[in-house]
Chains A and B, each alone.
Chain A
């Protein structure tokens, strides 16, 4: 295996795993490094640090090597299939890949080998990206915030501090991209499961409106709220991945570097309802980030959520468990003892929801969506908090639950707006801080442009976890 150092001098001295996917792509396309070398760098990194952070459930080395050799051929012949050609990626273990175990982190599916591949994974592989394996997840891609150490795989740990939680449910996706065991990852988000781990691990996490990315081949958690989404190191990485995933094609990369002067940005700090105020470090970083985009020429104006954020969360507390109980009814009937506590608890709760209350929750969701339509009508994009807290201590259930529940993420699942989180700095003890950017449906490019401008104006991407 190589030492993971690129041959070229454009990133002199930096190990490949520590570069953004965009930087690796540049090296690959210029011929400064070969896909097999890139793959080796990630395999070395996995060997070195994954026993401590548990980002991977399954490493598919032989398959990845074959894929990397195809990328070698394509790039050597100067016919790259896309900018992702030769870049290793991995997916949360609730994505199907033909012939590869898909446990969804559950004892219930330890023997499950899909016969078909998720269209999103297929698109990435057709674009030349190298699938390296499957990443840790909360059981069935869901949970209540707690960690009960009762699943067949060890919980992923936050690379910024392995005693801290990664955020769920795309736990391995967050841990892996931050630690550099993988260049980018796919997760899935029902009420925050892409954005929470992205925030806790200092990454970019993006969701698009429901229906824009295919969920086929993804183990459903909640039909009406689930959305797949990428977790990446930089905003441009996210744009590059979305350019391949979205069909019909959109060039999100064109939004990178776009000036934001004159963009009308709504700044939402509440009302949070019964949720507490954000951690001081999170709030301070948020205000500093607002000042930064002001300095770049954005026109910011304070605004309010159209209803308390905690009320939005309550709507998801009825919709999510009910749909999950319908989706996984057979498992609850036949194998409840094989489930972890968190999944079983959710399915039991969902089995108790009255149909009348579920319908009322869906009706509330319509009102929430309409009110956000009104709010967004005044702005090009809005910025608000993601999670209100920094990554909590792993296994301390009240802290973990508060981190998972007390967020400003669910309003955008309910209203179906594109939303992303990105790193806004670090707390005094080195934990990532974050904010959330939301744009109009069909105008995700504005969110990416704003995030890219902010990222370029700050130095947060210069720092990687020390493991």
Chain B
């Protein structure tokens, strides 16, 4: 499967702005553009369960409040 294209500087800047990430420097945004490729590839290549009935995993987590 072909790797995703790296977003342009303008695309990633608009994405960050849409999501409230206004304080990122140009260096951060450049890194985010690189990560966008990695994350998209990871999501796209993750195996899908064979049946729609496979629901997300759920078990108790450790953050149940006791006080």
Do these two chains really belong together in a complex? yes
Instruction: State whether B43 touches A353 (Cβ < 8 A).
Output: yes
Interface contact B19-A351, CB-CB below 8 Å = yes
A363-B49 CB under 8 A given contacts A211-B61, A214-B62, A357-B42:
yes
On whether the beta carbons of A333 and B56 are closer than 8 Å, the reply is no
B36 / chain A contacts, CB cutoff of 8 Å: 352
Asked if B3 lies at the interface with its beta carbon under 8 angstroms from chain A, I say no
CB 8 Å contact bits of A401-421 with B (1 = contact, 0 = none):
000000000000010100000
Q: Tell me if A214 and B66 are in contact (CB < 8 A).
A: yes
B25-67 interface code vs A (CB 8 A; 1 in, 0 out)? 1001001100110111011111111000011110111111111
Flag if B56 contacts A216 (CB, 8 Å): no
Find out whether the CB atom of A226 lies under 8 angstroms from the CB atom of B23: no
> Bound state CA distance, A220 and B64, in angstroms?
12
Interface size class of A (residues with CB under 8 A): 35 or more
CB distance from A370 to the nearest CB of B (A): 9
A364 engages B46 (CB within 8 Å): yes
Q: Which residue of B lies closest to A220 (CB)?
A: B63
What is the minimal beta-carbon distance from A105 to any residue of chain B, in angstroms? 20
A345 touches B21 (CB 8 A): no
Q: Decide: A363 and B61 in contact? CB cutoff 8 A.
A: no
Q: Looking at chain A's contact residues, is the secondary structure mostly helix, strand, loop, or mixed?
A: helix
CB of A5 within 8 A of chain B?
A: no
Alpha-carbon distance A416/B57, docked complex (angstroms): 10
* CB atoms of B57 and A363 under 8 A apart: yes
Residues of chain A with a CB closer than 8 A to B57's CB: 224, 362-363, 365-366, 369, 414
Q: Is the CB of B42 within 8 A of A314?
A: yes
The answer to whether A366 and B39 touch (CB under 8 A), given A215-B61, A336-B24, is no
Minimal beta-carbon separation of A203 from chain B (angstroms): 21
A337 interface residue (CB < 8 Å to B): yes
The prevalent SS among residues of B at the interface is loop
Do B63 and A223 have beta carbons less than 8 Å apart?
Answer: yes
Q: Does A361 contact B (CB under 8 A)?
A: yes
Task: Give the number of chain B interface residues (Cβ < 8 Å).
Answer: 36
**A108 located at the interface, meaning its Cβ lies under 8 Å from any Cβ of chain B in the complex:** no
Chain B residues near A317: list those with CB within 8 A.
Answer: 42
Contact pattern, A 204-236, Cβ under 8 Å of B = 1, otherwise 0: 000001111111101010011011100000000
Assess the B66–A366 pair: CB atoms within 8 A: no
Q: A214-B66, A344-B28 are in contact. Are A311 and B23 (CB under 8 A)?
A: no
Nearest-neighbor residue (CB-CB) of B25 within chain A? A337
Q: How far is the CA of A359 from the CA of B62 in the complex (A)?
A: 20
Q: Min CB distance, B13 to chain A, in Å?
A: 13
B14 → chain A, closest Cβ, in Å?
A: 13
Report Cα–Cα, A351/B24, bound state, in Å: 13
Q: Is the CB of A210 within 8 A of B46?
A: no
Residues of A within 8 A of B10 (CB): none
Interchain CB contact under 8 A, B35 and A361:
no
The yes or no answer to A283 lying at the interface (CB within 8 A) is no
Pairwise interchain contact A218-B56, C-beta atoms closer than 8 A? no
Q: Which residue of B lies closest to A117 (CB)?
A: B67
A-B contact pairs, 25 of them (CB 8 A): A210-B60, A214-B64, A216-B66, A218-B62, A224-B61, A227-B62, A311-B47, A314-B45, A317-B42, A329-B20, A333-B22, A334-B23, A336-B21, A336-B24, A345-B31, A348-B32, A351-B19, A353-B43, A354-B43, A357-B42, A359-B56, A360-B46, A360-B48, A364-B47, A369-B59
Nearest 9 Cβ contacts at the A-B interface: A211-B60, A215-B62, A357-B43, A362-B56, A365-B57, A366-B57, A352-B39, A349-B35, A363-B49
Which residues of B does A touch, CB under 8 Å?
A: 19-25, 28, 31-32, 35-36, 38-40, 42-49, 54-57, 59-67
Q: Which residues does A use to contact B, with CB under 8 Å? A: 116, 119, 209-216, 218, 220, 223-224, 226-228, 311, 314-315, 317-318, 321, 329, 332-337, 344-345, 348-349, 351-354, 356-357, 359-367, 369, 414, 416
